[in-house]
Amino acid sequence: MDSLITVWNALPFIVGGSLVTIATVCIALGMGLVFGVPLAVGQVYGSPVVQRLVGLYVWFFRGVPILVLLFLFFGLFVGLGLPVEPFLVSCVVLGLTSTAYQSQIFRGAIQSLPQGQLKAARALGMSDGAAIRSIILPQALRLSIPGWANEFSILLKDSAICYVLGTQEIMARTNFVAARTHEHLALFAAAGLLYCLITMVGLYLLRRLENKTHIPGYSTGMN
């Protein structure tokens, strides 16, 4: 009973942290989208050097744990004399990592399109750039939505690690209250449920997005 009261009292504080969590995830997702698409295009259509460089980037950010990257970038920010704002560092680390993962989602989607699409666009006299922008990407991005949904739920879970820098998100606040009240069980159970809830809402919204952008005969297998 006591633990329930503790949780109840701490709930506004912890739920407030979900705003920080959601902000982090949204910024990182957006960053991954903005940088991931050009990386994917570069890896598929770029020169060998470009392909190499993208491959190197992906290899690094998919091979090093988030936790290590957080401290590494913490050190980097200090070394460069930048303001060490935990929220900022978290967003940068998650964003760069997500860029690597998202580029691979988009690359897979681009490569799954039939070869004939690009040829047909060229045959109509489009430049390669125009063909990629107006023919390839609109299809590839649609095909990427399920992979994107998956990336969202992974990012959400990864964002919990950012509390080590002191970002005031769900996990940090739960830890803070738990350390004072010693109600770890109830508090972390509540935090876990909160994460589940955010995942479900996020996936629901993405499914809506998928239905909205649905084209007859085009299946992404998410439903």
Among 156, 165, 177, 206, binds other proteins (CB under 8 A): 156
Which is closer to other proteins, CB of 56 or CB of 130?
56
Task: Tell whether residue 191 is a contact of other proteins (CB under 8 A).
Answer: yes
State the minimum distance, in angstroms, from the CB of residue 188 to other proteins: 5
Q: What's the rounded Cα separation, in Å, for the pair 129 and 143?
A: 20
Q: What's the 3-state SS for the chain?
A: CHHHHHHHHHHHHHHHHHHHHHHHHHHHHHHHHHHHHHHHHHHHHCCHHHHHHHHHHHHHHHHCCHHHHHHHHHHHHHHHCCCCCHHHHHHHHHHHHHHHHHHHHHHHHHHHCCCHHHHHHHHCCCCHHHHHHHHHHHHHHHHCHHHHHHHHHHHHHHHHHHHHHCCCCHHHHHHHHHHHHCCHHHHHHHHHHHHHHHHHHHHHHHHHHHHHCCCCCCCCCCC
Task: Tell whether residue 178 is a contact of other proteins (CB under 8 A).
Answer: yes
**Window contacting other proteins (CB under 8 A); options: 43-51, 124-132, 185-193, 204-212:** 185-193
Which is closer to other proteins, CB of 106 or CB of 163?
163
Task: Tell whether residue 74 is a contact of other proteins (CB under 8 A).
Answer: yes
Task: Tell whether residue 76 is a contact of other proteins (CB under 8 A).
Answer: yes
Among 59, 111, 208, 213, binds other proteins (CB under 8 A): 59
Among 8, 192, 205, 208, binds other proteins (CB under 8 A): 192
Task: Tell whether residue 153 is a contact of other proteins (CB under 8 A).
Answer: yes
Instruction: Give the interface with other proteins as residue ranges (CB under 8 A).
Output: 59-60, 62-69, 71-72, 74-76, 78-79, 153, 156-161, 163-164, 171, 174-175, 178, 184-185, 188-189, 191-192, 195-196, 199-200
